[in-house]
Amino acid sequence: MQQVASAHRRLRLADLLVALSVTTDLGRGHPPEEAIRACLLATGLARRMRLAEHEVADVYFTALLQHLGCTAYAHEEALLFGGDEIAARLLVEQRDLGRPGDALSFLLLDLAREQPPLRRAAVVVGALARLPGAGRELYAAPCEVAAGLARRLGLAPPVQQGLSQTFERWDGKGAPQRLVGANIALAARFTQVAAQAVVFDRLGGAETAVALVRRRAGTALDPAVVEAFVRHGPALLAALAGEDPCAAALAAEPEPHRWIDDTHVDEVARAFADAVDLKVPCMRGHSAGVAELAAGAARRLRLSEVDVVALRRAAWLRDLGRVGVPNGVWEKPGQLTMGEWERVRLHPYHTERILARSAVLAPLASLAGMHHERLDGSGYHRQAAAAVLPIGARILAAADVYQAMTQERPYRAARAPAAAASELTGEVARGRLDGDAVGAVLGVVGQEYRPVRRRAVWPAGLSDREVEVLRLVARGASNREMAKQLSISTKTADHHVQHIYTKIDVSTRAAAAMFAMEHRLLS
Q: How far apart are CA 229 and CA 196, in angstroms?
A: 11
- At position 445, the amino acid (one-letter code) is V
Mean pLDDT, residues 451-479 taken together = 84
Least confident segment among 99-103, 258-262, 300-304:
99-103
pLDDT at 359: 95
Instruction: Identify any residues that bridge with 70 across adjacent strands, giving them in sequence order.
Output: none
The rounded Cα 254 to chain-centroid distance in angstroms is 29
Note whether 340 and 332 are within 8 A (CB). Answer: yes
Query: How does pLDDT run across 192-220, given as a tens digit for each residue?
Result: 999 999 999 999 999 999 999 999 999 99
Lowest pLDDT segment from 87-101, 132-146, 148-162: 87-101
Q: Per-residue pLDDT for 459 more than 50?
A: yes
- pLDDT the model gives residue 4: 44
d(CA 139, CA 213): 21
Q: DSSP 3-state assignment of 221?
A: strand
pLDDT of residue 299: 97
User: pLDDT tens for residues 25-52?
Assistant: 999 999 999 999 999 999 999 999 999 9
Predicted TM-score (pTM) of this structure: 0.83
Instruction: Kindly state the average pLDDT of the residues 296-315.
Output: 97
Res. 455: pLDDT tops 60: no
**pLDDT value, residue 1:** 54
Q: Could you tell me the pLDDT band of residue 81, with boundaries at 50, 70 and 90?
A: confident
Greater pLDDT, 266 or 125: 266
Q: Is the pLDDT of residue 124 over 60?
A: yes
Report which residue type is found at 82.
G
CATH of 459-518, one of 3.90.260.10, 1.10.10.10, 3.30.390.50, 1.20.1740.10: 1.10.10.10
List pLDDT tens digits, range 365-404: 999 999 999 999 999 999 998 889 999 999 999 999 999 9
Separation between Cα atoms, residue 67 and residue 93, nearest integer Å? 12
In contact, 494 and 456? CB cutoff 8 Å: no
Closest CA to 317 of 374, 375, 357, 258: 357
Q: Determine the pLDDT at residue 136.
A: 77
Q: Does residue 300 contact residue 253 with C-beta atoms inside 8 Å?
A: no
Show me where the domains of the chain are located: 10-255, 264-444, 459-518
Q: Which of 318, 363, 328, 360 is nearest to 23 (CA)?
A: 318
Q: Tens digits of per-residue pLDDT, 215-253? A: 999 999 999 999 999 999 999 999 999 889 999 999 999
Q: What's the longest Cα–Cα distance across the chain?
A: 98
The answer as to CATH 1.10.3210.10 being correct for domain 10-255 is yes
Q: What is the CATH number of domain 264-444?
A: 1.10.3210.10
pLDDT digits (tens, 9 = 90+) for 349-367: 999 999 999 999 999 999 9
Round to whole Å and give the CA distance between 39 and 41.
5
Give the per-residue pLDDT at 3: 47
Q: Give 453's pLDDT tier (boundaries 50, 70, 90).
A: low
pLDDT band of residue 452 (cuts 50, 70, 90) is: low
Same topology between domain 10-255 and domain 264-444:
yes
How many angstroms separate the Cα of 176 from the Cα of each of 63, 78, 135, 143, 409? 19, 20, 9, 8, 32
Contact present, 336 and 344 (Cβ < 8 Å): yes
Question: What whole-number distance in Å separates Cα of residue 249 and Cα of residue 358?
Answer: 12
pLDDT for the residue 289: 97
Is residue 96 over pLDDT 90?
Answer: no
Nearest to 396 by CA among 378, 418, 373, 415: 373
pLDDT tens digits along 50-80: 999 999 999 999 999 999 999 999 999 998 8
What is the Cα–Cα distance from 172 to 168, expressed in whole angstroms? 7
Q: DSSP for 48-75?
A: HTT--HHHHHHHHHHHHTTTTTTTTTHH
DSSP, collapsed to helix, strand or coil, labels residue 11 as strand
Average pLDDT, the chain: 92
